[in-house]
Amino acid sequence: MLKGAFVENSAKIALITGASKGIGAKIALTLARDGFDIWLNYRSDDKAASEVKTQVEAVGRACSLLKFDVADATQTTKVLQPLIDGGNIPFAVINNAGFRKDNLLVWLTSEEWKSVIDVNLDGFFNVVKAVLPYMLKRRSGRIINIASASAHIGVGGQTNYSAAKAGLVGATRALAAEVAKRNILVNAISPGFIETDILDGLPLQEIIKNIPLGRLGKTEDIAEMASFLCSDKAAYITGQAIQINGGIC
């Protein structure tokens, strides 16, 4: 809860969810390079999270490992609230946690539908709900939601994932309108096909044929955009869904 005598600590903090590997890990390392201390959220991979922590600390920034499932509102609040009560408010929140469970809708199970929605969309709500009141009081902050090309184009077998990511884009635009007067900027990044393990099982050679640049993207392509959106250079950008996809229309 907000407290009248609340005093914020001076360190500039970025909270990145799902940051033990892939895009999230690269964003954590890039923002550490930019001078942010990192709150690195992850759900289960202790070893990978510890490796990212070591790399963040190697560039001289602090890194706190926050192990919780963003889809669980109780876990999320239990971990974040004590940190916030101690005067730590993230300047930037990057909602990166997400996963796929692909299937044609005719065979899609309720569990496959709900679990994808829970992590990709409810996870955004749970994390932002915990931090936003303090951002509003401070009158500054950045929220970046990692969506997907699937939010903008139809990908067969990804009805659940497309619904979750399209919902995230819609939520981005609505929230941006709500908080703009308090100088909180809210944007989404929609990656195309990026070299991470989320592509496992997909026919990559066929996919590459349909990418105008003729290659998969790299995690740094997304991380550098996140870095830009967290910087003063992006002070007049909010409510946008920026597609980084090699030219896929």
Active site residues: 161
Amino acid at the residue 163: A
Instruction: Give how far Cα 142 sits from Cα of 3, 107, 185, Å.
Output: 22, 39, 5
Structure token pair of residue 53 = 């922590």
Residues 237 and 187 sit within 8 Å (Cβ to Cβ): yes
Upper half-sphere CA count for residue 175 (Cβ side, 13 Å): 26
CA–CA separation, 143 and 214 (whole Å): 31
